[in-house]
Homo-oligomer: A and B are copies of this chain.
């Protein structure tokens, strides 16, 4: 059945050590969890971002003013969106920790993880939060939510139990620990703590539901509460040595830095979903109806499409913004070595505002139709872009505070790429702030200002590269007049490597 085997194939099959390792895994029935975790990240980021839809689909009729009632409705929905986003991110972080403990997976774990993901997907999609907002006095929403959380907790406890039953699935750090039973108890405690509180909340929701809301808020902030309480205890009792047996357990704790790869994967998911939502909006609304074309535009398709021009402009601008924010995030994380907890939190906040970009698109597309109240809409859009980018800048600032741990040398203070990174990350906050200020002064041209801002920034990014190169060249020329620096300069080798195929 197999084709003619040339000697290269045989060599290939025997010589490749990584494929040998894979064969070994296959014989044991285990697999690297890399692809499964990537898929989980994608789905969880979808869940987090999709809750922007009730906000963007808030219907405002053309004759309705952008008044107090609409503002209150929008504000409530935005608050719900932000809350859901934070909750899903907490759940995602817990998922990340869990699979830092479980190093390899087999088919059963992969299936159990799919069950967890389904439960995750159902949790916001039974529309509990929509239910909670639409019917705040009916405890059904919170009851369903609690049942979902308990289900997730039970499945995760099953995953932990299964992995400890077959220790070759655990990460080497835990597998080699002398206190494995202790670790297991500790991890199960952490996994089941939230669901236990939710069980209480579910019971309370049947007769006195305000307590349930309180318990749910406790679940969300549980890691921070426990951290604060242990910190207070430390202060009161005096500083002690950390207990030795639980040292290897801390990798499951929420105070440890997250895996940088999974932060990147989650962020990419959010950016990709925002792009999808933009595409969906433009695909659904903007193919002209054949009847309309015949009646209104006398059969001229070009004229009909021309009427959609402002939409396409808004879409272009929003897509360029998403793309360039992703680009800035990508550039930043290329130089990040390790994501601390503060950086993770700031990243989540930045992503929450990136998730709001379809709202900005909706707003700019809407005022293409109804020019009154455009000022508020433009300002809302500017604010969303500003917050999304300023939190990116804050990640960078937080990283600089502990630069020896968190950053590559090139972007630290005094590093070669430091100035360029600063310029890259400062561009969007400055541009959106400028646009906001401009709308205050020239309120009549606010739409034009916003569109100019959205379309000018991409060119600014391209020019930035040139400008920073010019500045760096000038600085280098100035530096060459001074005595040489103590750092070993690699410039001549670099020039050579660009001219010759030096790595051959």
* Residues of A that sit less than 8 Å from B by CB: 1-3, 5, 9-10, 12-13, 19, 22-23, 26-29, 31, 35-36, 38-39, 42-43, 46-47, 50, 53-54, 57, 107-108, 110-111, 114, 117-118, 121, 124-127, 130-131, 134-135, 138, 140, 166-168, 172, 175-176, 264-265, 268-269, 271-273, 275-276, 279-280, 282-284, 286-287, 290, 293, 301-302, 305, 312, 315-316, 319-320, 323-324, 326-327, 330-331, 333-335, 337, 400-405, 408-413, 416-417, 458, 461-462, 465, 490, 494, 497-498, 501, 503-504
Residue ID in chain B nearest A166 by CB atoms: B498
A323/B114 in contact, CB under 8 A: yes
A26-B417, A403-B1 as given contacts; A19 in contact with B408, CB under 8 Å: yes
30 residue pairs from A and B, CB less than 8 Å apart: A1-B403, A3-B405, A10-B404, A19-B408, A22-B334, A26-B335, A26-B408, A26-B409, A26-B411, A27-B494, A39-B272, A43-B272, A46-B279, A50-B276, A50-B280, A50-B283, A110-B327, A110-B330, A111-B327, A111-B458, A114-B327, A117-B323, A118-B319, A124-B283, A125-B282, A131-B287, A131-B301, A140-B301, A167-B501, A176-B503
B461/A167 in contact, CB under 8 A: no
- Contact pick for A47, options B135, B279, B324, CB 8 Å: B279
A337-B19, A494-B28 as given contacts; A1 in contact with B465, CB under 8 Å: no
Residue ID in chain B nearest A36 by CB atoms: B330
- Copy total for this chain: 2
B35/A404 in contact, CB under 8 A: no
In the bound complex, what is the Cα–Cα distance between A125 and B318 (angstroms)?
A: 14
A-B complex: 9 closest residue pairs judged by Cβ atoms: A26-B410, A176-B504, A42-B272, A127-B287, A130-B287, A114-B323, A175-B501, A46-B276, A2-B404
B43/A275 in contact, CB under 8 A: yes
B283/A53 in contact, CB under 8 A: yes
B1/A283 in contact, CB under 8 A: no
Residue ID in chain B nearest A172 by CB atoms: B503
Chain B residue numbers with a CB within 8 Å of A264 are 35
- Contact pick for A3, options B19, B140, B279, B401, CB 8 Å: B401
Min CB distance, A501 to chain B, in Å?
A: 5
A39/B108 in contact, CB under 8 A: no
Scoring A39, A316, A330 by chain B CB atoms within 10 A of each residue's CB, the highest score goes to: A39
